[in-house]
Amino acid sequence: MAPPAGRFRPWRNLAIFAGVVAVLYSLVYFTGGGGATPKLGIDLQGGTRVTLTARTVDGRPPARESLDQARQIIEQRVNGIGVSGAEVVLDGTNLIITVPGENGDQARTLGQTARLYFRTVIEEQSAGVPAPVQHPGTSAPAAPPAPQQPPAASTESTPTPPQSVAPQLAQPPPSSEPTPTPAPPAPSAPPSVGTAPADSADPQAAEQIRQARARLQSQDPAVQQQALAALNCAAPNPLRGNDDPNLPLVTCDQHHTAKYLLGPAFLSGEQVASASAGPNQEGTGYEVRLRFKHQGEDIWAQYTANNVGKQAAFALDGEVVSAPVINGAIPPGQATSIVGRFSQAEAQNLANVLKYGSLPLSFQPSESETVSATLGLASLRAGLLAGALGLAVVFVYCLFYYRALGVLTILSLALSGLIVYAVLVLLGRWIGFTLDLAGVAGFIVAIGITADSFVIFFERLKDEVRDGRTFRSAVPRAWVRARRTILSADAVSFLAAAVLYVLAVGQVKGFAFTLGMSTVLDLVVVFLATHPLVAMASQSPLLSQPGLSGLGAAQRAGAESRSALATAGKGA
């Protein structure tokens, strides 16, 4: 026997459902400003493909383990910038990154090696026209151009509580002449990067790196001055991601407005524990806040205490991100902020690459290419056509078999689609979820699961009517028994989708995600819409008529069964 049902108020459930729909579509149309359409995957809207070619220091083919590690780090960076539906695959010694939509610039930055080193600024100059290259022993090097104030890119520590004095890293003051300062002893030296062997598999690439190091990382002061004077900041950096941290470095800043002579690295980005981007707390623009590991905190505190008044450069992949003056010691535990001429996207990208670590290999930059979505759109049209035909057959069957209850089935499916659409738009806006062909397949399968929930409820309702109950009295009893089965079936479906999502890769994850999401939304529709709509139909004199409700056959079968039992009883 089913437990007695309490008093049910269908209008209350429908009001809650209407409130949920109103909130969802208010978020869709009045927040984000990203449009009211879901984000589509690369197979539906096309996208951008970037090929990154690995380049090793010695010119040898990269190890498979290094390529796998680079692929994993790039996948983490993809997730960090919120690009969903992206693919990172290995093709020989190349990494191919495919992202949906117009994310070509983001895809190119994902291959950044992101080797961060902290170096002492020995000399700074304006990035003017490079002087002719002078080789040692031929003639005196050309005089370097007059220095000028570097661009507004400074680094400063985050504010400390009022009871303590906050040491600051400030913008270097303008000066009439460069003031070279000797590089301080390094508290901790990063591991050395070896030179290219003679038997390199790619001698041309190895020779380019060797020559660049000999010119830009020489320990001879005369060669350093020649390289600094001749450096052309507009030209590509030949040591991008391959500079030796144990040697001095002649390089430019990222905006190509200043060039520097830097000392050996005293701290590496491996000591960065966390990185986050946000608005500049001391001015305009954006900053990247760093927190070091325990050893890095001690090294940074010791360095800032011993080098007050000097510049420290943050060099990312061999280019200076920021070169502030140290105004005071920064104690361990206090965050440090890199403040530069960052846009919000640039600051977030820098924090992202520092957060997930540097790549074990450097990659040759590549131009992006546009990927067409013609095949995906054709497949989508075919899938939607098949789904529409299937829905039409379901609708016809429901109308023929369930009558008014079939109309409620169609209405419930429409309400389910209304919620699913809003959730898709919001997920695309908030977490970068993109809808691809596999996701569409997940939704089509979920339609069957939702329809099954209605069938369970309606068949239980017919059983109650066969037992001699009226439509109105059968609804609460049928619901009490049916909801247990509905919850069990949806729980099994959701667990299967969750396991598939965890174990699967690529587009199969999209199928599992949409299947699980639709299963959860199915419960919302059944509990807040379908059940109260059926209860209201049972209270309507018109819709509760056996000929319209679709329960006439069940009533006649129940009456015949009871009549047969009564006749059999009399005969006995």
Range from 225-234, 488-497, 548-557 carrying the lowest mean pLDDT: 548-557
Strand partners, 179: none
Cα(366)–Cα(275) distance, integer angstroms: 27
Least confident of 180-184, 376-380, 400-404, 498-502: 180-184
Contact, 54 vs 361, CB < 8 A? yes
Please give the pLDDT value at position 54: 78
Does the pLDDT of residue 419 top 90, yes or no?
A: yes
Mean pLDDT of 526-540: 90
Q: Is the pLDDT of residue 201 over 50?
A: no
% of the chain at pLDDT higher than 90: 17
pTM of the model: 0.56
pLDDT at 561: 73
What the block records as the tokens of 305 is 């205490």
Band of the pLDDT at 572, cuts 50, 70, 90? Answer: low
Size of the chain, expressed as the number of residues it contains: 572
Taking alpha carbons only, the member of 357, 346, 314 closest to residue 155 is 314
pLDDT (0 to 100) of residue 262? 94
152-166, 207-221, 278-292: lowest mean pLDDT where? 152-166
User: What residues does CATH 3.30.70.3220 cover in the chain?
Assistant: 42-108
Helix segments in 326-436, DSSP class H: 344-355, 374-402, 404-430
Residue by residue, DSSP assigns 81-111 as: TT-TT-EEEEETTEEEEEEESS-HHHHHHTT
What count of other Cβ atoms lies within 10 Å of the Cβ of residue 313?
A: 26
The H or E element that residue 506 is part of is: none
Closest CA to 240 of 272, 199, 208: 208
Q: Which residues pair with 95 in a beta bridge?
A: 52, 90
Note whether 341 and 98 are within 8 A (CB): no
Predicted confidence (pLDDT) at residue 156 exceeds the cutoff of 90? no
**Is the domain defined by 42-108 classed in CATH 3.30.70.3220?**
yes
Asked if residue 353 has pLDDT above 60, the reply is yes
| pLDDT on residue 83 | 52
**pLDDT digit string (tens) for 223-239?**
999 988 888 888 887 78
Distance CA 291, CA 273 (A): 6
What mean pLDDT comes out for the span 123-132? 69
Determine the pLDDT at residue 520. 92
Q: What CATH code is assigned to 113-368? A: 3.30.1360.200
Annotate 146-199 with DSSP letters as a single string: PP-PPPS--EEEPP--TTS----EEPPPP-SS----PPPPPSSPPPP-PPPPTT
Task: Spell out a b/e string for 499-525, using b for 16 or more CB atoms within 10 Å of the CB, else e.
Answer: ebbeeeeebebbbbbbbbbbbebbbeb
Higher pLDDT, 24 or 3: 24
Q: Calculate the average pLDDT of the chain.
A: 76
**Confidence check: pLDDT of 511 > 80:** yes
| Proportion of the chain above pLDDT 70, given as a percent | 74
Locate CATH 3.30.1360.200 in the chain.
113-368
Of 81-85, 111-115, 118-122, 132-136, which has the strongest mean pLDDT?
Answer: 118-122
Q: Residue 422: its pLDDT value, please?
A: 92
3-state SS class at 431: coil
- Bridge partner residues of 121 (DSSP): 262
**Range in 45-49, 94-98, 117-121 with the lowest mean pLDDT:** 45-49
Residue ranges matching CATH 1.20.1640.10 in the chain: 10-40+373-571
Tokens (6 digits) for 492: 């099994």
CATH superfamily label, 10-40+373-571: Multidrug efflux transporter AcrB transmembrane domain (1.20.1640.10)
What SS3 class is residue 370? strand
